[in-house]
């Protein structure tokens, strides 16, 4: 496979908008939580959240992923009312102040939160639990919006105990396919589905190495792919094994360079959406990839 082979030709629609995924898109992360692992408490006030959103749009994000509940291992659960209070005012304010062109994704597994966010102007449902909560798949079908189905086993509190695979590539592909079949039987349209291999969820260092090396195998599912590894533990493990003392111990924000490199590896294997905390850095890398791709495939 060429390093600069064009992305698969996919389009995702929501209401009266269409997202062309034959070109790469950067999804900027907006955590409106007090306890997310790298930026908790920074943007959980509406005006700060909107300002950060505006900055990410200026830096090149076309999708903003808004999350009101941390899914880091052993994070505290958040009640429906609290999650809704965190997310919905931010969605409404962004839509009012940033316009209709920006795509707003909601990182939630709670159908009530998603419905309220959709009514406030959200476009995409990003669910780490792949619509497994009661009523989630039915609601996704009723709203007829794009959904991101992520591979995970168990819950954030139990997933690390379930990171056992016969073959991680085949198993992740088979488990995603099973979930796709289940939600489409309930009524979710296949053309509304985006897959997420679930980096950081129920996978260890070796699993991550295998997945990132063979991500293109998931193209066999015939669906667009979102890639999210920004600032996650695997990147810290990579740096700790580098043999370079100055980078062996890092804070989450120190992993943006290696995360950007991983994003490009994913992009060249067919991932049309790259989810990141550092939009500006990812945008620079994507700009190079796009121009080299255009040069090689005019």
Give the CATH number of the domain where residue 78 resides.
3.20.20.20
Q: Give long-range contacts, CB 8 A cutoff, 24+ apart: 6-13.
A: 6/293, 6/297, 7/267, 7/270, 7/272, 8/219, 8/224, 8/270, 8/272, 10/223, 10/224, 10/272, 12/124, 12/146, 12/191, 12/192, 12/194, 12/224, 13/146, 13/191, 13/192
Q: What is the pLDDT of residues 283-296, one digit of tens each?
A: 999 999 999 999 99
Per the domain annotation, does 31 fall within a domain? yes
* Average pLDDT rounded to a whole number, residues 165-186: 97
Exactly one of 203, 232, 233, 255 is catalytic; which is it? 232
* 190 flagged as catalytic: no
Per the domain annotation, does 121 fall within a domain? yes
Checking if the pLDDT of 75 tops 90, the result is no
Mean residue pLDDT across the chain: 92
Checking if the pLDDT of 37 tops 50, the result is no
Per the domain annotation, does 5 fall within a domain? no
What pLDDT score was predicted for residue 73?
A: 65
Structural domains of the chain, count: 1
Determine if the pTM surpasses 0.75: yes
Per the domain annotation, does 214 fall within a domain? yes
Exactly one of 129, 203, 231, 275 is catalytic; which is it? 275
* 232 flagged as catalytic: yes
Per the domain annotation, does 6 fall within a domain? no
């Amino acid at each position: 496979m060429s390093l600069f082979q064009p992305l698969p030709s996919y389009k995702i629609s929501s209401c009266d908008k269409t997202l062309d995924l034959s070109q790469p898109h950067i999804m900027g992360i907006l955590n409106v939580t007090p306890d997310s692992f790298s930026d908790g408490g920074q943007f959980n006030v509406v005006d700060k959240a909107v300002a950060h959103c505006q900055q990410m749009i200026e830096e090149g994000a076309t999708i903003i992923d808004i999350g009101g509940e941390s899914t880091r291992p052993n994070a505290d659960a958040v009640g429906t009312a609290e999650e809704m209070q965190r997310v919905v005012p931010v969605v409404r304010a962004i839509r009012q102040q940033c316009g209709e062109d920006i795509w707003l994704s909601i990182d939630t597994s709670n159908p009530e939160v998603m419905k309220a966010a959709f009514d406030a102007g959200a476009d995409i449902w990003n669910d780490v639990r792949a619509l497994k909560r009661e009523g989630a798949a039915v609601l996704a079908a009723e709203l007829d919006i794009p959904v991101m189905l992520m591979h995970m086993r168990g819950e954030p509190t139990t997933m690390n105990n379930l990171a056992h695979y016969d073959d991680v590539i085949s198993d992740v592909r088979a488990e995603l396919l099973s979930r796709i079949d289940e939600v489409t039987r309930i009524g979710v349209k296949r053309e509304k589905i985006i897959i997420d291999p679930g980096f950081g969820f129920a996978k260890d260092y070796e699993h991550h190495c295998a997945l990132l090396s063979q991500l293109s195998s998931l193209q066999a599912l015939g669906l667009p792919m979102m890639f999210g590894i920004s600032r996650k533990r695997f990147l810290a493990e990579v740096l700790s094994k580098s043999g370079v003392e100055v980078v062996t111990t890092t804070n989450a924000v120190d992993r943006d360079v290696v995360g950007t490199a991983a994003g490009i590896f994913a992009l060249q294997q067919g991932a049309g959406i790259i989810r990141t905390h550092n939009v500006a850095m990812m945008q620079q890398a994507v700009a190079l990839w796009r121009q080299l791709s255009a040069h090689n495939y005019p």
